[in-house]
Structure 1
Amino acid sequence: MLRAGVIGVGSMGQNHARIYHENANLVGVADLDKEAVKKVGERYNTKYYADYKKLLKNVDVVSIAVPTGLHYKVSMDAINAGKHVLIEKPICNHIRDGEKLI
């Protein structure tokens, strides 16, 4: 089974975490907000990280649910780490960045 993770634990990230927890193998969540990420990690009995790059070492697939302005950088880091990536909409603020990701 694929090991899944979520980067960003706002409302959409929490939804991704819930779905992975119920239907897949959620192995971790990451967010700069240490209180929020701890809460979500404990809710789903999974590891939690303030540094998403540490999460990337342990997953096969990752949902990117950070603010849109960060989608490009975080997604490229995940892609460059060899991970499958699901990006919340909109893919990026700028078409050229979205095209680079695709």
Structure 2
Amino acid sequence: MPIIKILPHPEYCPKGATIEAPTGTSICEALLDHDIEIEHACEMSCACTTCHVIVREGFESLNEMDENEEDMLDRAWGLEPNSRLSCQAIVGNKDLTVEIPKYSINYAKEKH
């Protein structure tokens, strides 16, 4: 099973974490399954950018981005060339290193 290394984030994962995720799982699902409560305001329907992550290692092993995700990512805070919406980024066979950006664009932050 691939390993996902999550870099430290002051709110969601202060010490960072290393988790296992089954191939075919979205990064968002994997984080939530391991109690890393990343925002996902649209309930993983690719209708917002609150689950935006930056894939520091293993980007090429993820599924290809579709046009809807590309359009949504244009609205994300801190967009980088290796940015993905974690709800749409499907874990392949390689290990990943993921950074959760410091900020997200969420006008009504809620606990899920």
Same fold (TM over 0.5): no
Q: Provide the TM-score with structure 1 as the length reference.
A: 0.34
Q: TM-score, normalised by structure 2?
A: 0.32
Whichever structure has more helix as a proportion of its residues is: 1
- Larger relative contact order (Cα-Cα within 8 Å, sequence gap ≥ 6): 2
